[in-house]
Structure 1
């Protein structure tokens, strides 16, 4: 009797772990060639606050709770969810927004969504360069072409309930993403004999400051960016979404 109970318990644990891993590890990089972006998807993104994912190298992330969406009773993350939630969970709508939204350079302001939120503000305060940008109730921020280019080039990620820019490889296959940033914005740096980069401390500091500025830049883009609803398609999971 005890043995049967133990076997049943082990089977239940294995089934739960398998389900949990499948649910929380769902990635946006599915074999989806086209997607219909609608106002509901866009409004969900516009109403999200941007904070900072402190795992790996760190990256901007969206701060809405996904547990209820992932585990509504015993429903799988792939089943019985409305179109908006499925799109957000897969990261598709967010990646489309990054690829397709446009915004002119200029001064923008927004109410600091993290000012009175100790949980999310602790992520910001752990990085001095970010804390400098988020030390007021109202944030004034100059959005420029570098911010626009980097956000457009960034890769969305969904992992363990977090939707945001990939914290390990935010711009492609490189974990040394400071060099990706320099390449994207056209900054030149010395190269060693083995073809590896040799960025100065001053340049690294400047590049990382630009990277941390993507937190308020993403918030500004979500609030003010222009994007059309409709059908978006891509050639493969690594290519940009394009409006059709």
Structure 2
């Protein structure tokens, strides 16, 4: 291991230690914010935080995308340093409150915000995370955001589970039933996309291996779709 790698590991360990201490200091603020009705609309601070949140793949059941609950701005970015820059002051309680409120607003944002279909560049500092071909990111670092992605974001079922406490209560899509009531999630996906599976005379859904694989591939792409949506989707006047 090179000295550069050792230095990088030490910096990461320091960020993790600082994050644990921050969560400990702001435990009461986080709990109080969760017990309070979320704001009715995004503030400039909420939007700035939302643009900087990073996604992750949650491995519950079938798996689904969600927001990072630890080091939410990325593993190589200090929550305090980035957060203070985003809110414009060095106030830990204000940052904690704004971060939790932003998480509370994410599901409504995905329903009501809008974004044009097209090809979008994945920021250079994120590309390593989306290197797997299943994410839909091409060799040139771009992702084709389609209407199907927007439809599924609007139909996603969100949860806020503290998977690895202490952590920030930021939401993720339900890995067991990501798009509706069916644990066989392709059934819900097909219905939302206007191409439902056929039903047999005895009421059984007639699945199809090829179509199942296509929808599962689309489900994997939702990780990138969510990140691109957070970066570029337009916020209406009220969310």
> Which bin holds the TM-score, normalised by the shorter protein?
0.5 to 0.7
Corresponding position: 1:146 with 2:160: no
Secondary structure, counterpart of 2:212 in structure 1 = helix
Q: Does 1:62 align with 2:76?
A: no
The C-alpha deviation readout for 1:86-144, integer Å capped at 9, x for no partner, is: 314xx421112111110011111112555456xxx7xx85xx623xx3575x5211111
Partner of 1:110: 122
From the two aligned structures, give the one with the greater helix fraction.
2
Greater fraction of residues in strand: 1
Structure 2 CA distance, aligned partners of 1:192 and 1:112?
A: 48
SS across alignment from 1:36: coil
How large is the RMSD of aligned CA atoms in angstroms? 3.3
Return the match for 2:198 from 161, 167, 190.
190
Highest CA radius of gyration, 1 or 2? 1
Once the two structures are overlaid, the 10-residue window that deviates more, 60-69 or 92-101, is: 60-69
| CA shift in 2, pair 1:204/1:116, >3 Å | closer
Counterparts of 2:34 and 2:210 in 1: how far apart (Å)? 36
Task: Give unmatched runs, 5+ long, in structure 1.
Answer: 1-22, 70-79, 233-244
2:42 to 37, 60, 64: 37
* Normalised TM-score (structure 1): 0.63
Partner of 2:57: 52
Correspondence for 2:97 among 80, 83, 88:
83
Q: Counterpart of 1:217? A: 225
TM-score (structure 2 length as normaliser) = 0.65
> For the residues of structure 2 that align with 1:180 and 1:149, how far apart are their CA atoms?
12
| Structure 1 residue 32: Cα displacement | 4.8
**Alpha-carbon shift at residue 30 of structure 1 (Å):** 8.0
Unpaired segments of 5 or more residues in structure 2? 1-27, 73-77, 80-92
Question: Structure 2 vs 1, CA of residues 105 and 116 (structure 1 numbering), >3 Å: closer, same or farther?
Answer: closer
Asked if 1:168 corresponds to 2:179, the answer is no
Distance 1:66 1:93, change over 3 A: farther
Across the two proteins, how many residue pairs are aligned to each other? 185
Question: Per-residue CA shift, 1:50-107, capped at 9, x if unaligned?
Answer: 22112211111122526999xxxxxxxxxx665313314xx42111211111001111
